[in-house]
């Protein structure tokens, strides 16, 4: 096991591509520890950890044009308490309030939680139409970044400001709060076009341990049909196109309940 601190994000991305599966980006380290197995709970000996904490591009929270830019290495608790995030992305603050203990939030980073592929913040950023800022400075929809076979280094996340698309009428829920420190069974985020909510749903996303976060495109398509009022059965059928059956059943009830379809 080695810890390497490249001088630039571009060098870090190039190194990760060279090392392949042996490379892991690391900042707070709260996620990778969950993957370690055995009595000693150690990383595999051939792992190369690429330290991402030394670059200013990955830090801070600030307005940038019509977007709120959150550095990938911003600590989760810092984000939860930030006034700009509360103003422009209150759903993210709500989700972070449900994420682990305060000690975990003070150490963990947004980039780590998103890069994990199953974290609480993933569905939230997807329904808010977040953009990922990559090592070369390009921006792309987070949905595309997460769909890549190997996740690239993400420097920051860009969320639309309130003045760009208005306040987000949205909700976040997860089933299976950790009374005994057990992971949530499923995480679901929803966004509506209007404050009336109901069947004006325009975004839905979900994820769970073993099921990477993704948009529920079939649910969005179902709700976009203004000629019909869907039922719980319809919502469940749409969820089954995207999720394993147990998760589809739970997610469909959450979505249908929030949309007034129960």
- Separation CA 35–CA 2 (nearest Å): 17
Average pLDDT of the chain, as a whole number? 89
Whole-number pLDDT of residue 34: 60
Q: Which residues pair with 134 in a beta bridge?
A: 154
Whole-number pLDDT of residue 31: 66
Whole-number pLDDT of residue 108: 85
The string of pLDDT tens digits covering residues 16-54 is 999 988 888 888 666 666 665 555 566 677 888 898 989
- Over residues 233-245, mean pLDDT: 97
CATH of domain 2-164: 3.30.465.10
The string of pLDDT tens digits covering residues 113-171 is 998 888 889 999 999 999 999 999 999 999 999 999 899 999 999 999 987 667 789 99
Whole-number pLDDT of residue 103: 63
- CATH says 168-258 is which class? alpha beta
% of the chain residues with pLDDT over 70: 89
Token reading at 149: 């076979």
**Range list of H helices, the chain:** 9-19, 32-35, 76-81, 83-88, 90-97, 102-107, 110-116, 121-127, 142-147, 162-165, 217-224, 232-240, 245-258
Tell me 185's DSSP state.
S
Dihedral of CA 222/241/184/215: which sign? Answer: negative
Are the CB atoms for 170 and 259 separated by under 8 Å? Answer: no
Q: DSSP states of 85-119 as a string?
A: HHHH-HHHHHHHHTSS-HHHHHH-BHHHHHHHSS-
- The answer, yes or no, to whether residue 101 has pLDDT greater than 70, is no
- Over residues 220-234, mean pLDDT: 93
Whole-number pLDDT of residue 2: 86
Whole-number pLDDT of residue 32: 65
- The answer, yes or no, to whether residue 13 has pLDDT greater than 60, is yes
- The answer, yes or no, to whether residue 100 has pLDDT greater than 80, is no
Whole-number pLDDT of residue 226: 80
Domain ranges across the chain? 2-164, 168-258
- The answer, yes or no, to whether residue 177 has pLDDT greater than 60, is no
């Amino acid at each position: 096991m080695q810890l390497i601190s490249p001088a630039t994000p571009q060098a870090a991305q190039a190194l990760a591509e060279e090392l392949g599966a042996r490379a892991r980006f690391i900042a707070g380290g709260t996620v990778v520890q969950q993957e370690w197995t055995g009595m000693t709970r150690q990383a595999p000996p051939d792992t190369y950890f690429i330290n991402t904490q030394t670059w200013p591009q990955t830090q801070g929270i600030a307005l940038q044009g019509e977007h709120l830019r959150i550095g990938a290495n911003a600590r989760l608790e810092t984000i939860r308490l930030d006034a700009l995030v509360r103003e422009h992305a209150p759903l993210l603050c709500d989700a972070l309030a449900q994420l682990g203990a305060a000690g975990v939030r003070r150490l963990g980073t947004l980039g780590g939680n998103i890069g994990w592929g199953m974290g609480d913040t993933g569905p939230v950023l997807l329904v808010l139409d977040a953009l990922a800022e990559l090592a070369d400075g390009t921006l792309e929809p987070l949905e595309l970044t997460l769909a890549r076979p190997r996740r690239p280094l993400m420097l920051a996340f860009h969320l639309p400001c309130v003045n760009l698309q208005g306040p987000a009428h949205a909700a976040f829920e997860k089933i299976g709060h950790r009374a005994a420190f057990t992971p949530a069974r499923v995480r679901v985020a929803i966004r509506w076009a209007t404050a009336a909510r109901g069947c004006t749903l325009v975004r839905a996303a979900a994820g769970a341990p073993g099921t990477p976060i993704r948009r529920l495109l079939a649910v969005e398509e179902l709700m976009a049909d203004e000629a019909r009022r869907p039922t719980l059965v319809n919502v469940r059928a749409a969820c089954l196109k995207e999720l394993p059956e147990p998760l589809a059943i739970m997610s469909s009830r959450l979505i249908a309940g929030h949309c007034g379809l129960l």
